[in-house]
Structures are given as C-alpha cells and as structure tokens.
Amino acid sequence: MPPLPGIKAVLFDLDDTLIDRRTAYNNFYRAFYDRHESINEDISWPEAKEFFWSLSPDNATDLRHAFNAILNRWPNVTGDPDSHFHSYFESLVASMKPLPGALELAEALNSKGMPWGVVTNGGQYQLEKVKSTGFERLIPFVIATELHGASKPDPGPYLQALRLLEMDETEGAGVLFVGDNPHTDIIGAQGVGMHTAWVRMGREFPAAMQQPHLTIEGVAELHDVLGVQVRTNLPLPRSERD
C-alpha cells in the first residue's frame, strides 16, 4: 500500500482496531451461553452467537440494553443490566489481546516520532484494556469519551485529540483516523476533515455513506502508508508474560 501524502499524525480507535474485541466478545458470550440452561437448552451455540452479535451492530454495544433483550427472549436468565455490564467489561479486560501487528506499529510510530493517540468511546474500562494489553507504555494519550463529556461521532473528542497532537482545528487533513465503526469512527473523523482508514473485518462499507480514504484488513498494513519501519522483537504484554 503506497504512502498517504500529507499525514502528520495518526489517531486510532481501540476495540477491533488495536485490540481484539471480537474474540473477547465471543468468549464472554460463549461462557454466558454455557452458564444458562434456559439458553443452551433452547438453541445451539451458532444460533445463540448470531443472536448475541445482533446486539452489537457495527461493533458497538449498549450492554444494559443487550441484557434486557436477552431477558426478553429468555425470562429465566439470572442477573440484571448493571451486573451484566460490569461482568462483560471485567471479562474483556482480563482476556483482551492486541491485534496482530498493533504493538509493533505503535513502537514504530514512537521510534519515528510521529504524533499519535487513541480516541475510544467508553469510560474507565477502556483505560484498563489499554493497560492489560501492553499499550499503556506506548500510547502518548487516550481519550475515553465517557470521561470527557461527548462520544464519537460528536466532533468534540476529535477536536480535543487535535489539541493534544498540538494541531489546530484547521489541520484535520493532516491526521489519519483509523477505526472499525463507520457510524462513529469514520463519519466523525470525516466531519472534522481528517483522512480515514476503515478496518473491514469481513464487512462492506455502507454504500450510502461517504467512503473512507483507505480500507484495510488490519493496522499491520499501515506501516507503508505511514512510512514507518516495524520491529518484530518487542517484549510481550504483561498478560502474555504471566
């Protein structure tokens, strides 16, 4: 993939961009399925998996709403929306892994001295994911939007990121935003004039929306685009060393 001219900085979403939410999501709901006879005696795991993913359109989930949808279908399921919310995120923090090439790209960006950061919807649990996956030592800054008053695609988080990159609001075209959600990551970044790279994950980008500048299968493809050399001998994150 050829270099993208004019890019002075890069911003990333977190889940399913730098870290593997998809696998962690599957693992959480497989354990949930196995634990509840009212579900596993009613439908097969592939059917249940399809249902659970229907609760996460565009890779975004309202966990309390998801639990109510589960309860509506299987009234005997135990728990409540708040406990489901916390159980989900605690599971993901414990099991989340970096996506292939993501740590190496982060190190390469730092070695080149390219300004970068993360803008992710969510709150304190997002910061815990950063820590557990080994990114804390690498990421210059993380904006977890629930801690800052507005969520993507609102322009607020993107404009705050520009300030942290020491760029003004007119310099969005010099930033590449990388994310997996068309309706939050991509449309929000486009709204402030940023270049965009969409992580496909086996999907097609909505035809009715403004298309991203790049479509990629994973962030490992970006070292050529950003002109950085990737090292392959990084230490493992703590979760894989223990």
Mean pLDDT of the chain: 93
Q: Binning pLDDT at 50, 70 and 90, where does residue 86 land?
A: very high
Q: Where are the domains of the chain?
A: 9-20+97-241, 22-95
**Predicted model pTM:** 0.90
Q: Is the pLDDT of residue 196 over 60?
A: yes
CATH class held by domain 9-20+97-241: alpha beta
Q: Is the pLDDT of residue 34 over 60?
A: yes
Q: CB under 8 Å to 35, separation ≥6 — which residues?
A: none
Q: What is the pLDDT of residue 75?
A: 97
Q: Binning pLDDT at 50, 70 and 90, where does residue 194 land?
A: very high
Q: Binning pLDDT at 50, 70 and 90, where does residue 231 land?
A: low
Q: CB under 8 Å to 12, separation ≥6 — which residues?
A: 18, 116, 117, 118, 119, 177, 178, 179, 219
- Rounded Cα–Cα distance for residues 117 and 177 (Å): 10
* Dihedral (Cα; 18, 23, 29, 30), 10-degree rounding: -160
- Rounded Cα–Cα distance for residues 170 and 126 (Å): 29
Q: What is the pLDDT of residue 228?
A: 84
∠ Cα 17 23 28 (to 5°): 125
- For the ranges 23-27, 50-54, 59-63, 138-142, the lowest mean pLDDT is seen at 59-63
Q: Is the pLDDT of residue 237 over 60?
A: no
Mean pLDDT score, 144-154: 95
Q: Binning pLDDT at 50, 70 and 90, where does residue 229 land?
A: low
- 8 A C-beta contact, residue 153 and residue 181: no
